[in-house]
Amino acid sequence: MAKEKRETIPNSQATRVIPQGKLLIIGGKEDKGDTPEREKEHNVNFISEQILKRFVEELKGENPLVVVIPTASRIPEETAQDYLDVFQSLGAKNVQVADIRNRQDANKPEYVELIRKAAGIMFTGGDQLRLTAIFGGSEMLVAMKEQYAFTQVVIAGTSAGATAMSTPMIYEGESEGGYIKGDVRVTTGLEFLKNVAIDTHFLTRGRIVRLTQAICTNPECIGIGLEEDTAIFVTQGGNVEVVGSGLVTVVDGMGITETNIYDIGNGQPFTAKGLRMHMLGNGDEYVVPSYMRFQLQ
């Protein structure tokens, strides 16, 4: 059931919340022996165990419930089964699948209830636009944000599931190169992080240019590029720790001194000078600026 009415509290003074929950945002990793189609949709087995072990270790409570959300995938049953297997092998036995395929599902009380009981939530890979178009404004997303604010839930996402966690959310750039203006499409993500653009498969697919382009359109935002087999573990809404074998690239545009992003037409290359960049490895820490932190809506 779609909501019939938005709730409005015209003069409320909501307090910005330092979330007690945690995020595990994973850069994805494909099997190079797989077919391209299956690579895109079906990469669960290839996330390094280091990262998923961390997920399981961080779960709180006895026999903690993990909810797998395969909504981004076009083969949700297979994708979910892979996670059931992986978590089983890592010792997390209490795993349920929320096989949400449309906005009606995302508002169903039984799924909202499942989220409220979850100690961990896992968004699989696929297409991030499915996640925002289906969960945006839904009761399940409200429940996830409340869990994230007030409980120690761990919310994880890989590939598309990682990209959708923050606003702005990049999707479907037409070319992998991305140096042509207009390749990068952006919308509002699920917003567990704000003013952060996350890109995945970062070095493998050479996405530094498309991330930088997204940042140049508004340097208030920072970009975080995650290599495959690499994740960030986020506590207190913005304290970042790198986990995994690869690098995390942070692109900060606040110091941009020159850019032609507003002077060129679509299809032309863009330039930008004065960007700041950080490359971080396993165990490194980074603090997301405070004004980018989570707000309970």
* Active-site residue set: 159, 201, 228
CA 75/CA 80 separation, integer angstroms: 9
What is the b/e burial string over 128-166, where b = at least 16 CB atoms within 10 angstroms of the residue's CB? bbbbbebbbebbbbbbbbbbbbebbbbbbbbbbbbbbbb
CB of 210 vs a second copy, minimal distance in Å: 13
CB of 3 vs a second copy, minimal distance in Å: 5
Closer of 66 and 250 to a second copy (Cβ): 250
For residue 272, CA distances in Å to 22, 170, 216 come to 34, 19, 7
Closer of 48 and 71 to a second copy (Cβ): 71
CA 217/CA 223 separation, integer angstroms: 12
CB of 125 vs a second copy, minimal distance in Å: 14
- Which tokens go with 211? 């991330």
Closer of 16 and 93 to a second copy (Cβ): 16
Closer of 136 and 282 to a second copy (Cβ): 136
Handedness of CA 177, 43, 73, 61 (dihedral sign): negative
CB of 225 vs a second copy, minimal distance in Å: 18
CA 66/CA 44 separation, integer angstroms: 15
